Chains A and B, each alone.
Chain A
Amino acid sequence: MKIRLFRSFLYIILVIFAIYYLLPLYVLVTTSFKSFEEVNVYAMWSPPKKLSFEAFRRALFSKWGYQGLANNFKNSIIMVIPATIFSSFLGSINGYIFTHWTFPGANIIFILMLFGMFIPYQSILIPLVQVLRFLGLFGTISGLVITHVIYGIPITTLIFRNYYSTIPKELMEAAKIDGASFVGVYRRIILPLSLPGFAVVLIWQFTSIWNDFLFGATIALDPAIQPVTVALNNLAGSYFVEWNVQIAGALLVAMPTLAVYLVLGKYFMRGLLAGALKG
């Protein structure tokens, strides 16, 4: 009896915490579906009386006073896809070399790379802007892609190195004795075993690049090329934009990464704990 009571108490606490975590999501969803007439911060917690898609439409396409987010979604997609693929691929090659083809000094290079993932990016921002300007890449999506690829190298390398070190050395040695070369081992042994590793790294990179704000805000000044996080911040900072439109914008920006988290949560978690280090 005592145990039963204790356990129901346990569940009540868990549910209370669940409500705490879900409150912002509740506001995101209910407010997004409210029409302009229903928007009222003093009735924030009441559900919409009738479903309206007006807020989504206005957040995406409305042009007065601010730019619609639809264009910025396109920018984010153009940015995130190549940046994610390139940085993951580089990480895979580096990880392969740092585990199975080490050369003198490889470990030091790895440690020096690792430090790159913790630095506050403020400490490289000023030269970065200068160099991108010099290369004619400042204020372009290509500039953002290159930036994300380079600063993604440390974390992707780390995750792949940890992942590849679980592949038995004997397997590699056997293949090498059979005459397989650097490329041969990678193609025939590493790559086929890499799929879960790639899933973890691709998801990690996708999420961090999609969610980035600092690089986007610094490099993309023109609203026409801004990633969606930067555009959302502008939209939400404008006094002309109604509350439900801001919230609908936030929900839209959150959708892609939330969807990845809900569908591929297992890999998301693994990246989280593997890269336990990155913020």
Chain B
Amino acid sequence: MVMWFKRKHDQILSILLVFPSALAILVFVYGFIVLTTYVSFSNWNKLVPDYSFIGAANYLRVFQNPRFLITLRNLGVFTGLFVGGSLILGFLLAVLLDRRIKAEGLFRTIYLYPLALSFIVTGVVWRWLLNPGSPQMGSAGINLLLEKMGLGFLKTGWYTDPRIGIIAVAVAAVWQMSGYVMAMYLAGLRGIPEELREAARVDGASEFQIYRFVVLPLLRPITFGALIVLGHISLKIYDLVVAMTGPGPGYSCDVPAYFMWELTFRANRFGQGAVIACILLIGVSLLILPYLRYSLRREAKI
């Protein structure tokens, strides 16, 4: 009886202790999402809140806005380059480092340190690195370096050239996040028993074939995980654009998250800003929900 009472007491205590966190998440995540969704259907497009319902008018206005369509295109280009670039570079570095390298720890530290930095710091540095210089004064930054290495033909206007724009931002983003992918793959590679590769070698497989047919398939869960992580970072990319370029010439560096903030807190078009917020949320959910289900299932099996 005493035991039972104590158990009950402890169970109630545990529920009470989770309650504040659960309530906070319920209100600040789910409640706020519902409110934002409501605002996206409201007439609140000036400083003072106006919650009258106006249907899908904000959605129509946002999708008819050429700047929004440019940000969507930019986001597509950015995601492709950033996710693809980080995956390829990260995998390459992991494979190279997995070959019993002396000073592996040092190389790892160097490849990974950008991850400790704020996107604002990265943005400030890369804005100067990709500053193309001027025709009168000559090249600056990376352009100058390329010139000195005899690779002058690779010089471009970077983010000042509307044809490049967001690609320059992707260069900085890959620099920052590729180490992360490397760390994930390296952990994965260390989990593959050497005997497996040895067996393939005995069967006469070349090193390339071993990676293609043995290692990569085994690393598929990691590739999948990295894809999701990078994908959702990419959808949310904001700070880096703010610090590095702003919207750029002809909005060539602009992204939805940046446009959302400007529309909402600069132009006071809260309803239209909420539309972009909802679109971003839907994009992230489409990416994350299947992944959460997949990881929780995997966990349940173990």
Q: Which residues of chain A have a CB within 8 Å of any CB of chain B? A: 10-11, 13-14, 17-18, 20-25, 27-28, 31, 41-42, 44-45, 90, 93-94, 97-98, 101, 103, 106, 109, 111-116, 118-128, 130-131, 150-151, 153-154, 157, 181-183, 207, 210-214, 217-218, 229, 232-233, 236, 243, 246-247, 249-250, 253-254, 257-258, 260-262, 265, 268-269, 272-273, 276-279
Contacts and interface: CB of A to CB of B under 8 A. Distances in A.
Contact of B14 (A23, A103, A254, A272): A103
B63 interface: no
A90 B21 contact: yes
B284 to A, nearest CB: 6
A261 B118 CA distance: 13
A233 B124 CA distance: 8
A20 B179 CA distance: 12
A125 B273 CA distance: 10
B36 A13 contact: no
Given A120-B235, A122-B260, A157 B116 contact: no
A269 B265 CA distance: 36
A225 B233 CA distance: 28
Given A112-B30, A214-B239, 4 more contacts: A14-B96, A41-B133, A246-B124, A265-B109
A279 B225 CA distance: 12
B24 A150 contact: yes
Contacts of B13: 182-183
Contacts of A213: 118-120, 238-239, 242-243
Contacts of A261: 112-113, 115-116
B99 A24 contact: no
Tell me if B's interface is mostly helix, strand, loop or mixed. Answer: helix
B113 A10 contact: no
A21 B110 contact: yes
20 contacts: A21-B175, A42-B144, A103-B14, A119-B29, A120-B257, A120-B281, A123-B32, A125-B36, A126-B264, A127-B35, A151-B28, A154-B25, A229-B120, A232-B243, A236-B127, A236-B243, A247-B124, A247-B128, A250-B125, A261-B112
A61 to B, nearest CB: 19
Nearest to A109: B22
A106 B107 CA distance: 43
A257 B49 contact: no
Contacts of A127: 31-32, 35-36, 39
A42 B25 contact: no
A115 B292 contact: yes
A6 B259 CA distance: 49
Contacts of A258: 113, 116-117
Query: 10 smallest A-B Cβ distances: which pairs?
Result: A211-B118, A279-B233, A261-B116, A124-B32, A101-B14, A182-B10, A127-B35, A123-B281, A41-B140, A127-B32
